[in-house]
Amino acid sequence: MGDKIIRKRTLAPNMRAAALLMGAMMFTVALSGCIFGDNTPPPPPEEPAPPDGWFVTGPDGQILDLPMLPMDFTFSDVGQDGAEPSIGITSSGCMFFIAFEKVMRSCDHGGSWEIVDDIASHPSTSDPYGWVDPITDRVFNVQMVGLITTWIAWSDDDGESWLGNPHDSGPIPLNDHIKLASGPWTDDGYGMFGQLNPTYETAVYFCYNKGAGIFCYTSFDGGATFEVGGMIYGLATTNGGLHGAISTAPDGTVYVPPRVETPTIIFSKDNGLTWSERTMGLDTGTPYPRKNSEVGTDSESNAYHIWTGADQGVYMSRSTDSGNTWEENSIRISPSAVISSVFPHIDAGDPGRIAITYLGSENASELNQSDIDGNPWDGNAHYAPANVSYYLYVTFSLNALDDEPVFYTMRISPDPVQIGAICLNSGDCRDIGGSNRNLLDFNDLHIDRDGRVYIAFADGCTGDCAVGNNSTPEDSRSRRGSVYYLSNGPSLFEDVGFLAEFL
């Protein structure tokens, strides 16, 4: 073949002149625009949208145009099943996670866990509860033995050694829903200057329910014996007067929330000698079936009662006079986007500084769709359809006593904690690929001496369930013991300020 002919394309002289003229005109226009044109500055860059699952809301659950609190949480797998978990932190920094027959301890900020008390220290066990006395550091492991006796063990050396005693609930069976807490002695009733002389620095309270109602007792010797007390509340529901966790305030007031339709608190100002009752939140009742409400108290003995309201949001009523009076109109803590919630728990530091955790769902598209029984779903977790996913949330407020408090909410868990319904009635569960009562009755939240938040929960969606895009309720039947704690963020004690990661 012949050589390839390359043709160079050139412009004719008159075309070159036209092109040069056009280029000069364009340059002049561009230059005049820079010097003589519109001096309006370019629009500022748009603010980035908050991360998915972050909300800043007011007392009605609606979004506010405010920046999010900076905070991060660290996850720790306890390594054991842990439905109905309790958590406490001693002044040494050791975390104690109590669930089923085991007490788990981590003294390296969740890096590793070990069993420090198990079924070998008591004959048989179920329905556990744990408590760390924030004044004395005594660690309690409370275990129900059958339906009549409770075994209460305690340790004063970070779980290295334990003592314990059984406590017989008497001739009426159904010793259930056991709870324990401790708090300061008062000047009245059973207190330091009252009828009896305590031998332990704090009053220890033990409550449970049986067929007749709620029973509570006071110990004068640190939980070794409970010689005084009795029924404090009659039959609250057909389930036998179930109740939430015991809470105590710095002034010695002790609170027990019963499971009733109108938010109610039972409280004592004389270490359990006498009890009073108050109602609140009359604008927002509580749904059935549902689980416990809870009270948090701050360093000035202000009280914050939280519960799941009739619309399935988390609500709060406040008392600034140690439980004597409460707000009738409630405040919504959870964002309106969270259309279903269960297992709310609270702790407080200084006045107005509170943290709340709960399981919640944002699957609003499922509302009014067919629930687990084929009826329109109203957000009640007990009847949630198969397409609903529940995550772990935490909500902070640093001004919870204000007329217009601000709530900062973060969806902590990156994957669901439960898919489908969460059974909230032990006698009314649905067996869909295994009982949906895998999470049982409650989670827990407490702060340490620095005001750092710790959350204990049971994770029902683990392994393939957590990473699968098409996971079903049948896949979500785990109950893995799990912990999140605040690694960076605000302390609930104002003078501590911002908490940084552990070194």
User: At 23, which helix (H) or strand (E)?
Assistant: helix 13-36
β 228-233/213-219 pair status: antiparallel
Does 135 have pLDDT greater than 70? yes
Domain residue ranges of the chain, discontinuous segments joined by +: 55-84+289-503
The number of C-alpha atoms within 13 Å of 198 and in the hemisphere containing its C-beta is: 27
Contact status, residue 460 vs residue 438, Cβ threshold 8 Å = yes
pLDDT tens digits for 52-81? 999 999 999 999 999 999 999 999 999 999
Judged by average pLDDT, the poorest of 19-28, 126-135, 426-435 is 19-28
pLDDT of residue 35: 43
pLDDT tens digits for 483-500? 999 999 999 999 999 999
Does 332 have pLDDT greater than 70? yes
User: Confidence band (pLDDT; 50, 70, 90) for 431?
Assistant: low
Handedness of CA 179, 183, 189, 193 (dihedral sign): positive
HEC states along 275-312? CEEEECCCCCCCCCCCCCCEEEECCCCCEEEEEECCCC
Judged by average pLDDT, the poorest of 284-293, 339-348, 390-399, 460-469 is 284-293
Does 177 have pLDDT greater than 50? yes
**What mean pLDDT is predicted for residues 190-195?**
64
Taking the C-alpha atoms of residue 53 and residue 271, their distance in angstroms, rounded to an integer, is: 42
**What mean pLDDT is predicted for residues 102-117?**
95
Handedness of CA 488, 490, 491, 495 (dihedral sign): positive
pLDDT tens digits for 355-401? 999 999 999 999 999 998 899 999 999 999 999 999 999 999 999 99
pLDDT of residue 145: 76
**What mean pLDDT is predicted for residues 186-214?**
82
User: Confidence band (pLDDT; 50, 70, 90) for 49?
Assistant: low
pLDDT tens digits for 257-279? 998 888 999 999 999 999 999 99
Q: Which of 443, 275, 428, 423 is nearest to 346 (CA)?
A: 443
Does 11 have pLDDT greater than 70? no
pLDDT of residue 10: 35
β 102-106/95-99 pair status: antiparallel
Taking the C-alpha atoms of residue 158 and residue 163, their distance in angstroms, rounded to an integer, is: 13
Handedness of CA 49, 55, 61, 67 (dihedral sign): negative
User: Confidence band (pLDDT; 50, 70, 90) for 450?
Assistant: very high
Q: For residues 15 and 124, which has the higher predicted lDDT (pLDDT)?
A: 124
Taking the C-alpha atoms of residue 56 and residue 503, their distance in angstroms, rounded to an integer, is: 30
Contact status, residue 56 vs residue 73, Cβ threshold 8 Å = no
pLDDT of residue 171: 53
Mean of pLDDT over the chain: 87
Predicted TM-score of the model (pTM): 0.89
